[in-house]
Structure 1
Amino acid sequence: MSNLYTPYIDVTINAEWSDWENHPQGRPNPIYYERALKWKVDGLVFGFLTLEESSKTPCWAASSAMPLDWAVPLAQELNSAGLRVIISFGGASNSDISTHFNATELEEIYVSTIELYGASGLDFDLENSLYDAAKICLALKNVAIRKPHVAISFTLPTLPTGLNQSGVDILKLAKKEGIEYGVNGMAMDYGDPYNNPDTATDMGKAAVDAALSISRQLAPIYPALNTAELLAKVAITPMIGLNDDGSMFKLDDINTLTRFAQINPLKFIGIWSFNRDNPSGYTYVDLETSSNPEQKVPGEYSELFISGLTAISKSNARPHSGRAYFQLHPGTKNRR
């Protein structure tokens, strides 16, 4: 099993509004397609479709200027290049569409979105309580039947110790509805780094710990799965560079996470965000740069993730690290 690298992108950032002839309503910036090819990502996760309160319709960033089909041009470019397109609903800001639509209506919106974007996956970023998980899962139960090739993932806040109870409850609910899913831990913003020195100084280890903790939380939900199978349901998405809490996911942290993923393949690795994979010396969190002074060129994070996930060497595959990680699930069968 190989690890996929599918960064999140805020499709509304640095949008293209000047191509009146071809895209009079605007579109995501074409530079993101060019960079997806150049940096050799496996695909992009588009964020975020939310509820536009006045019209009560799904829009990007809850803006009526960016309706459901607004980001299709970028999806068409990625699909034409054989890259994956995953559409994410929810996010940290604005209400999810599940707060307005019933389960049947949600099902139709999800299916329409899949068809409109040629999407290979739907993601549900549920982190702000402005969503209805029961309706989402009920809708997805039928979506999975109608579109069995489409992967479903839940993106949830995590600490190195794992998901909060709300996140675990969502996973239990999805399992109850018979949904096959992956769970993506948001390995970021753990808290004041001065009160949490381990995560402040080693965000790579914190991301690995989060993956292991989530797999433990999945164990009672999927008691028949062994350790490797549980980890294969887990994805991890760190916030590259400067985090909102002042911690820093550094370039060296990539090696810690990718070494672990080489030995213990994950569902995918993402980043927040593709837009931010650019250098700057800013001392604040920026939407278009990492604010990490050690980053020197655009795409440096992505290129290091790609090389780390693909360049498997004997030294990286030595079992001592893997053995330590795999001892953390004594109740499961280890088939390595």
Structure 2
Amino acid sequence: MSKPGVTHEQYTGEPQRRLSPWRVMLAIFILISLSAGTFFGLQQWHANQPTVSNKSWFASYVDVTATPTFAFEQMGTTAKRDAVLSFIVSSSLDACTPSWGGAYTLSQAIGSLDLDRRIARLQQQGGSVAVSFGGQKNQELAVNCTDPDKLFNAYQSVVNQYNINTIDLDLEGAGLTDATAASRRATAIAQLQSQRRAAGKSLAVWVTLPVTPQGLAENGTDAVSQLLTHHVDLAGVNVMTMDYGSSLVKGTTMASASENALTQTERQLGVLYQQAGIYLNDATLWTKMGATPMIGQNDTADEVFTLADAAAFNQFALSHKLGRMSMWSANRDSACGSNYVFTQIVSDACSGVQQDANGFANRLGAGFDGSIFLSAGLITTADTTSKRAQQPDNPATSPYQIWSPKGAYLKGTKVVWHHNVYQAKWWTQGDIPDNPVLQQWQTPWTLIGPVLPGEKPIPQPTLPAGTYPDWSGTTTYNTGDRILFNGVPYQAKWWNTGQSPAAATSNPDSSPWTPLTQEQINAIATPTR
């Protein structure tokens, strides 16, 4: 310390050295550069990383405004460093002002949450962040911000503030059901993505949607269609594999239900791209899919996503080369402490199941070695149809009969069409197996899988000519009588005359006819000795 009123030379006995003006200016410039670089440089270091990678990535959601505050910056010391920060929504004071959870504007979050510094710390340790807009509790920006320019500026301000190249649109509630808001959102996001790409910057856009084991509901497929129609290049569709409610079949594990949800959504995504004029093969579609289970105790009381579910779901995802895996949430990835009266509860701060620290992240994220940042530069391009797909089905290499528009197929019948095997869910005639429908109930066919190399026809049971008489509209039939209608055998449930078996398809309960099952046909074609 120096004493007041005493010169450096008087105090030390050494001649005082004077700095020239240019040296003073240089020193000030260096100090400013270092201080700015310490903060902004850590936040923006990714911008100089040109490498693009298509490796699948894992990132936990982090609820930024949840209490107690989760120190996501400490994830930089773990194997799974990336995070999807949530949720940006409309401010309670101004619908066009982005805020964290409706509680903190971007500027308020700098001080109250020290958010920018914590992001910089995570990035300093090799982590990447994406930002999620929407969520269930508050309003996504496009719902009430009706001014197109202000809406665009709101999205842009978030991207610029955190210097991110990946955003996530978590559409729930009005954010999912409001069609006008969906159009506003799609227009603004397409404009932002186009602008950034023109400037040599990337912007990956993920859309996160609720799902059931049967796939996306109509609101979900409409949301994807709206984005594609407005020419948003989607990085992918991330489905919330959680809270299935009545759609979950009793006895089905959460892992199995989640696998079904992904399988059905992948099929729907292919149809949506086809409708948008872009053909994507199955391998590409899986890379544009993501999944987000709610770890541990779900909001639905009897739904618990266990550590065993996490391990099994991870293996399914890796085998299909799923593009992204997330979880809700990093805040919850620990066992509830002894201060909880009931440990099996839904909490923002713990999973509600017995687990090791970071147990779900370690199991769900195993094998996902990519990065949010490095995958953001990928651009969707149409795939080419394989030569095999363009060739007609060959009876000599098809395990089952090739589908015919004139054929009548009973429930359970398998056919081959476009080199894939399909199975009938109910009696059908004239319904194309690969008709691009969005909902499974719209088609009588279930895709089983491709015809495998080297397969040969499997002998199919047939009924000898004359086994049963052809149905006649003038004949009276008694209970148990059997007939052939369009080559398909039927049995009378009660006395009838003039009632066509065709009605058994559209209204089986009131029809006097029921088609014989495949097992019954097999028994007829191969009588016991």
Matched, 1:142 2:197: no
**1:125-140 aligned within 5 A:** 125-130=170-175, 132-140=181-189
**1:238-262 Cα distance to aligned partner (Å, 9 max, x none):** 0000001121000011222211222
**1:1-336 aligned within 5 A:** 1-14=54-67, 29=70, 31-34=71-74, 36-56=75-95, 57-63=97-103, 66-69=104-107, 70=109, 71-101=115-145, 102-130=147-175, 132-148=181-197, 149-181=202-234, 182-191=236-245, 196-199=249-252, 202-223=253-274, 224-246=279-301, 247-280=303-336, 282-293=343-354, 295=355, 297-307=356-366, 309=368
Tell whether the 8 Å contact from 1:278 to 1:290 is kept in structure 2 after alignment: yes
**1:134-183 Cα distance to aligned partner (Å, 9 max, x none):** 11100011111122312101111001111110110011111111111111
Q: Give the letter for the 1:90 counterpart.
A: G
- Secondary structure (helix, strand or coil) at the match of 1:144 reads helix
Q: CA deviation at 1:307?
A: 2.9
Q: More displaced, 141-150 or 74-83?
A: 74-83
Structure 2: give runs of 5+ residues left out of the alignment.
1-53, 110-114, 337-341, 370-418, 423-432, 437-448, 451-529
Task: Give the Cα–Cα distance (whole angstroms) in 1 for the partners of residues 421 and 105 of structure 2.
Answer: 46
Provide the aligned length of Structure 1 versus Structure 2.
Answer: 299
Q: CA deviation at 1:212?
A: 1.1
Q: More displaced, 260-269 or 154-163?
A: 260-269
Task: Give the Cα–Cα distance (whole angstroms) in 1 for the partners of residues 282 and 224 of structure 2.
Answer: 17
Tell whether the 8 Å contact from 1:42 to 1:84 is kept in structure 2 after alignment: yes
Tell whether the 8 Å contact from 1:161 to 1:213 is kept in structure 2 after alignment: yes
Q: CA deviation at 1:39?
A: 2.7
Q: Give the letter for the 1:299 counterpart.
A: N
- Over 3 Å counting, the alpha-carbon distance change for 1:327 and 1:285 in structure 2 is farther
Task: Give the Cα–Cα distance (whole angstroms) in 2 for the partners of residues 217 and 42 of structure 1.
Answer: 31
Q: More displaced, 49-58 or 151-160?
A: 49-58
Q: Give the letter for the 1:166 counterpart.
A: N
Task: Please report the TM-score for the alignment, with normalisation by the length of structure 2.
Answer: 0.53
- Secondary structure (helix, strand or coil) at the match of 2:365 reads helix
Task: Give the Cα–Cα distance (whole angstroms) in 2 for the partners of residues 328 and 290 of structure 1.
Answer: 41
Q: Give the letter for the 1:290 counterpart.
A: S
- Secondary structure (helix, strand or coil) at the match of 1:114 reads helix
Q: CA deviation at 1:81?
A: 2.6
Tell whether the 8 Å contact from 1:187 to 1:239 is kept in structure 2 after alignment: yes
Tell whether the 8 Å contact from 1:258 to 1:309 is kept in structure 2 after alignment: no
Q: CA deviation at 1:192?
A: 5.2
**1:92-135 Cα distance to aligned partner (Å, 9 max, x none):** 01112212322322222222211211212111111111461111
Q: More displaced, 259-268 or 157-166?
A: 259-268
Q: More displaced, 276-285 or 89-98?
A: 276-285
Q: What is the identity percentage for the equivalent residue pairs of Structure 1 and Structure 2?
A: 27
Task: Give the Cα–Cα distance (whole angstroms) in 1 for the partners of residues 138 and 365 of structure 2.
Answer: 32
Q: Give the letter for the 2:297 counterpart.
A: L
- Over 3 Å counting, the alpha-carbon distance change for 1:301 and 1:143 in structure 2 is same
Counterpart residue number, 1:318: none
Counterpart residue number, 2:391: none
- Secondary structure (helix, strand or coil) at the match of 1:183 reads strand
Indicate the structure (1 or 2) with the bigger Cα radius of gyration: 2
Structure 1: give runs of 5+ residues left out of the alignment.
17-28, 311-325
Q: CA deviation at 1:328?
A: 8.4
Tell whether the 8 Å contact from 2:56 to 2:287 is kept in structure 1 after alignment: no
Task: Give the Cα–Cα distance (whole angstroms) in 1 for the partners of residues 251 and 211 of structure 2.
Answer: 15
Q: More displaced, 88-97 or 270-279?
A: 88-97
Larger RCO, structure (CA 8 Å, separation 6 or more): 1
- Over 3 Å counting, the alpha-carbon distance change for 1:75 and 1:327 in structure 2 is farther
Q: CA deviation at 1:74?
A: 2.6
Task: Please report the TM-score for the alignment, with normalisation by the length of structure 1.
Answer: 0.82
Task: Give the Cα–Cα distance (whole angstroms) in 2 for the partners of residues 198 and 235 of structure 1.
Answer: 25
RMSD: 2.5
Counterpart residue number, 1:24: none
Tell whether the 8 Å contact from 2:56 to 2:322 is kept in structure 1 after alignment: yes
- Secondary structure (helix, strand or coil) at the match of 1:159 reads coil
